[in-house]
Amino acid sequence: MGATKHLMSLLISGALIAGAGGAVMAQQSDKDKDSVKQTTKDVANDTKKAAKATGKAVKKTTKKVVHKAAKETKTN
């Protein structure tokens, strides 16, 4: 009877330790998800900034070309 109680206490202790380890792993997974989420947001924000900069450059260049063409048309 003493051996059975000892075995049961070991099994229960092992289950508690394994459960605690699982909780720690779950917390690490949440942290990883948060870091992935933040990285995704950062990349999206950088893409947005790059798209805006490209759009501004295209607008500026197009404006220059149109004005130069209009000037050449007036001259001829």
Q: What is the DSSP code (8-state) at residue 1?
A: -
pLDDT given at position 43: 93
Q: Taking the complete model, does pTM exceed 0.75, yes or no?
A: no
Structure confidence by residue, pLDDT tens digits, 19-72: 666 555 555 566 677 788 899 999 999 999 999 999 999 999 999 999 999 998
Largest CA distance in the chain: 111
